[in-house]
Amino acid sequence: MPTGLDKSTDDPRIRPVDSSHIADLIRIADETNLSAWTAQNYLDEFQMPGSIMLRLESDLNVTIGFVVGRIVEAGVVETEQQAEIYNIAIDKSEQGKGLGQLLFDAFIAKCREHKVTSVWLEVRESNEKAIGFYKTNSFEHVQTRDNFYNNPREAALLMKLILK
């Protein structure tokens, strides 16, 4: 199982997340109506094998976006790995400028390094913006999970990307 996936990528704006950034992640998640992770959730995620936690920094070294996901074992074939994206968000004022794409590409680059063949995520069915972003990035809607979310109660679209 891969570990130590917290190194930064080639793009200097993409940096690893450490515990000093958790408040930033919580702020951005709150502003963008993401499912609320507690500080403890993020701390726990640091300990998970295969965890990928990246943040995007502005020129002023302020965190303006992040992605959290994980590479997980899949099936019995050792070279087949799956990844899951749990959260990806860009500060509201910075959306639509290609920055989400930058973070997503960095996440996928890490997946490719570790021979991931499929990436999975769930998204609220009303979140048209994110669904559009994922479809632009070749995700397919494979299933609907009713009553998946609370506050408000809502279905999730399960989406899958095949990495070739």
Ligand X SMILES: CC(C)(COP(=O)(O)OP(=O)(O)OC[C@H]1O[C@@H](n2cnc3c(N)ncnc32)[C@H](O)[C@@H]1OP(=O)(O)O)[C@@H](O)C(=O)NCCC(=O)NCCS
Active site residues: 122, 134
* The binder of ligand X chosen from 53, 100, 107, 108 (CB under 6 A): 100
d(CA 72, CA 5): 12
d(CA 125, CA 123): 6
Q: Which of 37, 40, 35, 69 is nearest to 54 (CA)?
A: 69
Interacting span for ligand X (CB under 6 A) from 8-16, 73-81, 87-95, 107-115: 87-95
| Minimum distance, C-beta of residue 76 to ligand X, in the bound complex (Å) | 30
* The binder of ligand X chosen from 133, 139, 157, 161 (CB under 6 A): 133
Which 8-state DSSP code applies to residue 18? -
Check if the beta carbon of residue 126 is closer than 8 Å to that of residue 154.
Answer: yes
| Minimum distance, C-beta of residue 3 to ligand X, in the bound complex (Å) | 25
| Minimum distance, C-beta of residue 10 to ligand X, in the bound complex (Å) | 18
Phi, psi of 55 (to 5 degrees): -130, 160
Encoded tokens for 132: 């559009």
Query: Rule CB under 6 A: which of 31-50 touch ligand X?
Result: 32, 34
Name which of 90 and 115 has its Cβ closer to ligand X.
90
Query: Rule CB under 6 A: which of 66-85 touch ligand X?
Result: none
| Minimum distance, C-beta of residue 95 to ligand X, in the bound complex (Å) | 3
CA atoms within 13 A on the CB side of 123: 23
* The binder of ligand X chosen from 136, 138, 143, 144 (CB under 6 A): 136
Encoded tokens for 66: 């992040």
d(CA 159, CA 140): 5
If one asks whether residue 107 binds ligand X (CB under 6 A), the answer comes out as no
Stated length of the chain: 164
User: Which residues lie near ligand X (CB under 6 A)?
Assistant: 32, 34, 88-90, 95-101, 123, 127-130, 132-133, 136
